[in-house]
Amino acid sequence: MKIRMLKPVFVMVVILTAGIFSCQKINIVTTTTTATNLVGYMEKDPATYSEFLKIIERSGTSSYLNAYGAYTLFAPNNAAVKTYLQLIGKTSVEEIDPDQLKLLVKYHLLSDTIRTPQFTDGKLPVPTMHGEYLITGVKNTDGVSRYVVNRSAVVLTPDVRVGNGILHTTDHVLIPAQKTIAKLLEENTSYSIFTQALKATGYFKTLDTLVYLNDTTARWLTVLAQKDAVFQAAGIASYEALKARYSNLGDPMQPKDSLHLYVGYHILSGLKYVADLVSAPAHETLAPQEVVLTALRGDTLRINEETVAGVFEKGVDVNRNSSDLSATNGVLHDVSAEVYIKVRKPTPVYFDVADQPEIRKLTAKFRKVGNFVTFNLGDLADITWSAGTVTYNCYAPDPTKGAYYWNDWITPSSLRTRAGQNNWIQFKTPVVIKGKYKIWVSYRRDAGGINCQVYFNDVLMPRLINFNDYRYGASTITDEELQSQGWKRYSATAAFNNTVMGCKMVGTADVTTTGRHLIKFVPTGDVGGNTNIDMIHLIPEDMDQFKPRFASDGSLVY
């Protein structure tokens, strides 16, 4: 059975604004000021900010916001605060508990400088200091478009630059999530069948709590919910009809019952807003070893679009206007049609090792040419190593010498066998669908990382990789000849032919379970120097190993 190769969108930065912002003119006035800090600026305009300043003062955060730093503050104006007080049944800020106000301030504050050009149709790149993400978009009123936050607060005065950050004035107070995903669904009667199914399978309880894996790490969840109208369009008029169609054991509480698996398939591990869903081609669900596939089509996020046996399956659209709903334990999305478990075929994974969650949050550094950031042991959740540091690099491309994908790469402390030095480095991959894959390692040659053994889930691959090696005479032979020798051109520039960038196959891995896996490099030589790792490709063994190629501007060449 032939399956269409899905584009590896998770190695691309998807510009979500293209479809929604490009056709709308947004009036933005950038303000400059001599105020030294956020509080100082607001104090000069009590007619706009006096009520929010009361919140800041009563919450005990005034001195914090007076300090040096790099913040973004969404400051509601006086009318917004008064509306908020009416909403919660209070007549003044003084009637609200200071601890509650402190949380409110944190929800309006980000520990990074985010200007409106960085706003997208979706979540902001960094969370608030409350720990939740804000959602931005555009609202058009009487022919005038303005940015809107959390679908309610219009940005009236954007991008005020002060000494310790950026201030955006809004016409509503931003209110943190108050309900779990389960409660959001239960209180919306249009999800009655889906909610009944959650309760019958036990998943309602799972979605009604925030579980901590340890003292600081929460287990966030993401739900693809179906309204009653979606079920009815599929010929399912009630929960009883849903159970009759899917429950093969008659007991949906049983983990192996088909209805239990069906509902679990609608729940994804992790906190995944639309921007996160488009950043990877596959996402794990609570149905064991089952994933949903995602792809961006224009400005539409589509679930499970593929071609099977020559038949194109359009997939299911995510309703953007009713998705990205934050809850206390995750995020809720709404889908336009029924989502159900399908048999998956292996699909290529083009793993950009420099695209890590902690690095992506550093918006002033990530994929910004001319920057580097050094990380210590424990700083990166999905990269581990034995000693020293790991450096993220992003520099201007030189097509003849250094043509990294997206201009960035990872350099660990010198990979060598000497005691006390960095004796190994390990990466956790994105989700890989079970199957057999050829593994290719893409790099720029340098002095370090001599004759590294490569392990996939502790299984030793048959070939060593020498990060100081390259293929002589590469420009004179064909792709087929290169592959027969364990090499390929992966860069869309001349750098490979100039014996600078290399991509070498280390073996074929049998991926027995769908999920995330570990790739480890262990040097066998004791030579100091840099090791520059750009990408790792995992390509099904029966698929084209040569295309696409990867350009330094993030584009793909087929």
* Alpha helices per DSSP H over 75-190: 78-87, 98-107, 181-186
Q: Are 153 and 80 in contact (CB under 8 A)?
A: yes
3-class SS of residue 436: strand
Q: Residue 514's pLDDT is what?
A: 86
pLDDT in tens, 79-117: 999 999 999 999 999 999 999 999 999 999 999 999 998
Check residues 501 and 182 and name the one with the higher pLDDT.
182
What does DSSP say about strands 316-317 and 300-303: parallel, antiparallel, or unpaired? antiparallel
Region 233-259: mean pLDDT is: 97
Confidence of residue 9 (pLDDT cuts 50, 70, 90): very low
Confidence of residue 472 (pLDDT cuts 50, 70, 90): low
For residue 204, pLDDT beyond 50 = yes
Confidence of residue 32 (pLDDT cuts 50, 70, 90): very low
pLDDT in tens, 491-545: 887 665 667 888 999 999 999 988 899 999 999 999 999 999 999 999 999 999 9
Q: Residue 383's pLDDT is what?
A: 98
- Exposure on the CB side of residue 543, measured as CA atoms within 13 A: 23
What does DSSP say about strands 459-460 and 452-456: parallel, antiparallel, or unpaired? antiparallel
With 0.75 as the threshold, say if the pTM is over it.
no
For the chain, helix (H) and strand (E) counts, in that order, are 15, 34
If you average pLDDT over every residue of the chain, what do you get?
88
Neighbours of 384 (CB within 10 A): 16
Domains detected in the chain: 17-170 (2.30.180.10), 178-334 (2.30.180.10), 349-557 (2.60.120.260)
- CA pair distance 205, 182, nearest whole angstrom: 8
For residue 327, pLDDT beyond 50 = yes
Q: Residue 19's pLDDT is what?
A: 38
pLDDT in tens, 268-315: 999 999 988 988 888 999 999 899 989 888 889 999 987 655 667 889
- CA pair distance 464, 473, nearest whole angstrom: 21
pLDDT in tens, 306-316: 765 566 788 99
Q: Are 2 and 346 in contact (CB under 8 A)?
A: no
Cα–Cα–Cα angle for 364, 365, 366, nearest 5°? Answer: 110
Q: What are the b/e assignments for 225-234, b being 16+ CB within 10 Å?
A: bbbbebbeee
- CA pair distance 256, 449, nearest whole angstrom: 46
For residue 14, pLDDT beyond 50 = no
Confidence of residue 440 (pLDDT cuts 50, 70, 90): very high
Token reading at 507: 């073996």
Handedness of CA 372, 375, 379, 381 (dihedral sign): positive
Q: Which residues pair with 398 in a beta bridge?
A: 402
Neighbours of 389 (CB within 10 A): 14
Q: Residue 171's pLDDT is what?
A: 96
Region 441-466: mean pLDDT is: 95
Residue with tokens 């003292």: 215
Q: Cα 207 from chain centroid? A: 21
Handedness of CA 140, 277, 438, 5 (dihedral sign): negative
Confidence of residue 5 (pLDDT cuts 50, 70, 90): very low
At 151, which amino acid appears?
R
Q: Are 331 and 272 in contact (CB under 8 A)?
A: yes
Lowest mean pLDDT among 18-32, 119-133, 359-373, 467-481: 18-32
Q: Is 235 left (phi over 0), alpha (psi -120 to 50) or beta?
A: left
pLDDT in tens, 377-387: 999 999 999 99
